[in-house]
Amino acid sequence: MIVLCAHRLYTPREEILNPLLFIEDGRISSVSSRTEREIPAQATVLDFTRDFPDAILAPGFVDIHMHGGAGVDVMRASLAELQHLNKFLTTHGVTGYFPTTVAAPLDQTCTALERIADAIEAAQGPRAGNGDQAQALPLGIHLEGPFLSHKRRGVHPPENLIEPTLEIFERLWQAARGHVRMITIAPELPGAIEVIAEAARRKICVSIGHSDATIKTAHAAVEAGARHATHTFNAMRPLDHREPGILGEALTSEQLSADIIADGIHVAPEIVKLFLRAKGVERAVLITDATAAAGMPDGTYQLGPIQVEVKNGRCTVHGEPDGKLAGSVLTMDRAVRNVTRFSHWSLRDAVRAATLNPTAATGLRQHGQITAGAEANIVVLSPNGEIRRTMVRGG
Ligand SMILES: [Zn+2]
């Protein structure tokens, strides 16, 4: 048995002062405060207040929209490269994530899905020996495309966009061996509503995005089972007060959670604030949409089939004069800190948007919260949201 001690703990629904967190076999067995329980004599004690008197325990961050980092692109990565990425992610507090696809030729996408499915299954197995650096877990696949709007495609190559059909959806599902957890889809495309209904039936989190939908179509998507919206404001029909469109639905529907790229580049800080007010502490989700360039120096990197160029924190399509944004170099810990800077949200609420909210949106019950029975995926934070330590399954 391992017992973690700190100054404070975010479950994140609640806050516990002087917490004791008990871990057995990589899972959380119980949580209490020092005033309620003694530390058993045989337990291994990790008291983080020794080095950091103000240490905060929180669930590990879960990034549901991530294309890569540390020079690794998830569409092309080998198992060893993915492990390198997984170690990098823990240095930013991430303990679980969805490798996210980019619209590519269908064969290439299927090959990538097979490889990512291998990595997900490998991560489900027993952990490597003690003393290894913690590695973030790929928890499921996010299909960003190929069912996206031409008009709102962002940098997804137009030749790789496809009209949704159940046949193509089935082919992607088979290639991923059922590990698809999330799909971003433009609901206005012919055939989209049918695919949304089928994906929802398979318990996939259906997220509307890369879309030029009117409010009526966005509403029909929710009726069919859509429950989330992808990088709110980016690659969406702009808000209009008479035709609020997909944004009107994403911001106001109580049936939809929604995510945002809080890097201060994709969306202005004031709009992040507006988004947080609209979605509230229960439905706002932080994502990075990070590319292989995250954590790397300025230069040229691969994003699925696209080459991207990074300069001063902006990630744009290589060689395009208009410099369309192509993913980010954001990390989850910075997204959390940005939220506390851009708004009046507490660190606990910002952490919730990076933990419980994304896992609740995607049905991952073992992740994103500190509760008995959940996997012991934990970050140790400073009161400013700096990462002090990350643990995956208690190690
Ligand atoms: Zn993306």
Q: Are residues 35 and 93 in the same domain?
A: no
Show the tokens assigned to 23.
């871990």
* Model confidence band, residue 143 (pLDDT cutoffs 50, 70, 90): very high
| Average pLDDT of the segment spanning 70-94 | 96
CB neighbour class for 190 (10 Å; exposed up to 12, middle 13-18, buried from 19): exposed
Q: Are residues 268 and 244 in the same domain?
A: yes
Q: Are residues 15 and 156 in the same domain?
A: no
* Model confidence band, residue 376 (pLDDT cutoffs 50, 70, 90): very high
For the beta carbon of residue 161, count every other beta carbon within 10 angstroms: 18
> Which ranges of 202-244 does DSSP label H, i.e. alpha helix?
215-224
Cα gap 246→326, rounded to integer Å = 21
Q: Are residues 24 and 78 in the same domain?
A: no
Question: Which domain does 234 fall in, by range?
Answer: 61-366
Q: Which residues surround ligand 1, an ion (CB under 5 A)?
A: 144, 289
- Taking each helix axis as running N to C, give the angle between helix 269-283 and helix 332-342, from 0 to 180 degrees, rounded to the nearest 10: 100
Distances from the Cα of 275 to the Cα of 271, 287, 298, 367, angstroms: 6, 13, 30, 24
**DSSP secondary structure letter of residue 355:** T
Residue of 329, 297, 295 lying closest to 314 (CA atoms): 329
pLDDT given at position 313: 86
Q: Are residues 174 and 311 in the same domain?
A: yes
Beta strands 180-185 and 284-287 are unpaired
- How close is the Cα of 373 to the center of ligand 1, in Å? 32
Cα gap 169→196, rounded to integer Å = 10
Could you tell me the CATH number of the domain that includes residue 299?
Answer: 3.20.20.140
- How close is the Cα of 88 to the center of ligand 1, in Å? 19
- How close is the Cα of 183 to the center of ligand 1, in Å? 11
Query: Lowest-pLDDT range, 126-140, 168-182, 306-320, 358-372?
Result: 126-140
- How close is the Cα of 327 to the center of ligand 1, in Å? 6
Quick check: 312 and 263 in contact, CB under 8 A?
no
Q: Are residues 299 and 317 in the same domain?
A: yes
- How close is the Cα of 128 to the center of ligand 1, in Å? 30
Quick check: 275 and 232 in contact, CB under 8 A?
yes
> How confident is the prediction for the chain on average, in pLDDT?
95
- How close is the Cα of 144 to the center of ligand 1, in Å? 6
Contacts with 128 (C-beta within 8 Å, 6 or more apart), sequence order: none
| Average pLDDT of the segment spanning 238-251 | 97
pLDDT given at position 132: 76
| Total number of domains constituting the chain | 2
pLDDT one-digit tens code per residue, 144-176: 999 999 999 999 999 999 999 999 999 999 999
Quick check: 99 and 65 in contact, CB under 8 A?
no
pLDDT one-digit tens code per residue, 264-279: 999 999 999 999 999 9
pLDDT given at position 42: 93
Q: Are residues 128 and 224 in the same domain?
A: yes
Catalytic residue annotation: 289
| Average pLDDT of the segment spanning 186-207 | 98
pLDDT given at position 127: 62
pLDDT given at position 110: 98
- How close is the Cα of 316 to the center of ligand 1, in Å? 13
Cα gap 105→108, rounded to integer Å = 5
pTM over 0.95: yes
Query: For residue 126, is pLDDT > 80?
Result: no
Query: For residue 32, is pLDDT > 60?
Result: yes
pLDDT given at position 129: 47
- How close is the Cα of 236 to the center of ligand 1, in Å? 13
Query: For residue 331, is pLDDT > 60?
Result: yes
Q: Are residues 188 and 43 in the same domain?
A: no
CA angle 334, 317, 108 (to 5 degrees): 95
Cα gap 142→100, rounded to integer Å = 5
pLDDT one-digit tens code per residue, 294-325: 999 999 998 988 899 998 888 998 877 667 89
Beta partners for residue 274, in sequence order: none
